[in-house]
Amino acid sequence: MDPGFRAEADVGPAAQESWRRIDVDRVRRIPDGLLVESVVAMPDWRSSRFRPTAVFFEGMRYAVRSHQPGRAGSHLYTLAGWPDDGVDAPGPVIEYDEAYVRRRQRLRSQRRTADVLAAVAVPLTPLLGLLPSRLKSALHGTLGVHPMEATRASITLEGIAATLCGALAVIHIVTLGRLTPELGHTLWLLPLLSVDAFVRYDAVLREAVRPPGFLEWLVPARLRG
C-alpha cells in the first residue's frame, strides 16, 4: 500500500472486522483501510495518486486505491485512509452508506429499463412516426426515439406501402386484365398514403418542431393539443 496513505483511525490487525452488509454490498475493515465489495462497477470510484475519489464511510474519509474483480462477478475496491499530504484536492466526493447503495441500484434499474425500452422501440420507429405529434413528443423521453427521426421512418414506410400497392395493381392488370375486387378496395390507400407522405415530408424539410403524425395535418392546429 502507498506509504503516503494511512488510516484516520486505529484499524490495525486487532481492529480488522468480518464482512458487513451495506444493503446489497459488503464492506470489511482491513489494516490501514477498507474493502468494499460492490455488486456493480462504480465508475466514479477512481484510483489515482492525485485527485482520487474521496469516500466517506462512518465518519472517516478514504481514498480509492484499487479496483479488481471480486467473487461471482462482483467488484472489489480497496480504500486507504486519506493521506496527510501528496493530494492537492479530492476528485469526486462520495458519502457511502445504505442510502447511497439503494440510490445507485435504483438508477441502475432505471437505466436497464430504459435500455430495454429503447431496444424494443428501434424496430417500431416507423410505426411510432405515425402517431400524433403530441404523443411522439411524450414518448421521446421514455423511449429515446426523436419525433423527427420517427416521422422520417414513417414516411419511408408509407412510400414502400404505396409502391407495393401500385405494383400489385399493375401486376393484376397485366396478368388478369383487370383488378380483383379485393385489390380494388385497397387502391384508395395509394393516393391517401402518397398525399400524407408528401405533406409530412414538407414538415420534415421545414424542420417543424412537432412533425405531424398520420393525417394529423387534417386536424386544425388549435385542436392538436
C-alpha cell at 17: 472486522
* Res 180: pLDDT: 73
* Res 12: pLDDT: 42
* Res 16: pLDDT: 52
User: What's the CA gap between 92 and 62, in Å, rounded?
Assistant: 12
* Res 3: pLDDT: 39
C-alpha radius of gyration, the chain, whole number? 30
* Res 83: pLDDT: 79
User: What's the CA gap between 130 and 212, in Å, rounded?
Assistant: 8
Q: pLDDT averaged over consecutive 10-residue blocks of the chain (225 residues)?
A: 40 61 95 94 87 91 92 94 71 93 95 85 92 91 89 95 86 78 76 92 92 92 73
In the 8-state DSSP scheme, what is residue 218?
A: G
Q: What share of the chain is helix, strand, coil (3-state, %, to 5)?
A: 45, 15, 35
* Res 87: pLDDT: 59
* Res 225: pLDDT: 64
